[in-house]
Structure 1
Amino acid sequence: MKVEALKKRLDRNRPMTSVTIRIPEDVVEDLKRIAPLLGFSGYQPLIRAYIGQGLRIDLERFEGDATIGALISSLKRRGVSDEIISEALSEIAQT
C-alpha cells in the first residue's frame, strides 16, 4: 500500500457510510460477548476490524504489497496489539 493511501486508512476521521447486512442473531450475540474481551467498545467496531483485517489480506494479495502485510502478521503472531501496529504505521506515514 502506498504511503498516501496508508495515511488515509489511518485517519480516524475519514468519511463513513452506513451499510445494512443481515447476520444471524446468535452471531451478533457472540460478537457482543467477545468485543469487550478483545478491547472493543461494541460489536460494530469488532465487525469493522474483522472486515478490515480480511480486506487487508486480500488487498495485499492482489496489489502485491505483501512485505508490509507479512510484517504486520508476524508482529501480531508475536503479540503486538493492533493499536501499537497502527501507531507505528501512522508514525511511518508522517515521515
Structure 2
Amino acid sequence: MKITALKQRLDKNRPMTAITIRMPEDVIEDLKRIAPLLGFSGYQPLIRTYIGQGLRADLERLEGDTVAALIASLKRHGVSDEVLREALLEATKR
C-alpha cells in the first residue's frame, strides 16, 4: 500500500458512510460482550477493526500476487535477478 494511502487510512477524521448490515443477534451480543474486553468503546468500532484487518490482509495478498506475477514476467523477458533486486530495493526505500 502506498504511503499516502496508508496515511489516509490512519486519519481518524476521514469521512464515514452509514451502512446497514444484517447479522445474527448472537454475533452482535458476542461483539458487545467482547468489545470492552479488547478496549473498544462499543461493538461498532470492533466491527470496523475486524473489517479493516481483513481488508488490509486481502489487499496485501492481492497486491503481493500482482508484484510476484510482474517479477515472474520480467524474468521471462530476460531481466536479471540482480536488476530485479536493485529495483525492489529502490522501490521500497520511498
TM-score by length of 1: 0.66
Matching residue of 1:5? 5
Q: Which runs of 5+ in 2 are unaligned?
A: 66-94
| Identical columns (%) | 83
Q: Which runs of 5+ in 1 are unaligned?
A: 66-95
**Structure 1 runs (4+) greater than 3 angstroms displaced:** none
Q: Secondary structure at the match of 2:40?
A: coil
Matching residue of 2:37? 37
Separation in 1, partners of 2:24, 2:6: 33
Residues 1-95 of structure 1: matches in 2 within 5 Å? 1-64=1-64
Higher relative contact order (CA 8 A, sep 6+): 1
Separation in 2, partners of 1:42, 1:30: 11
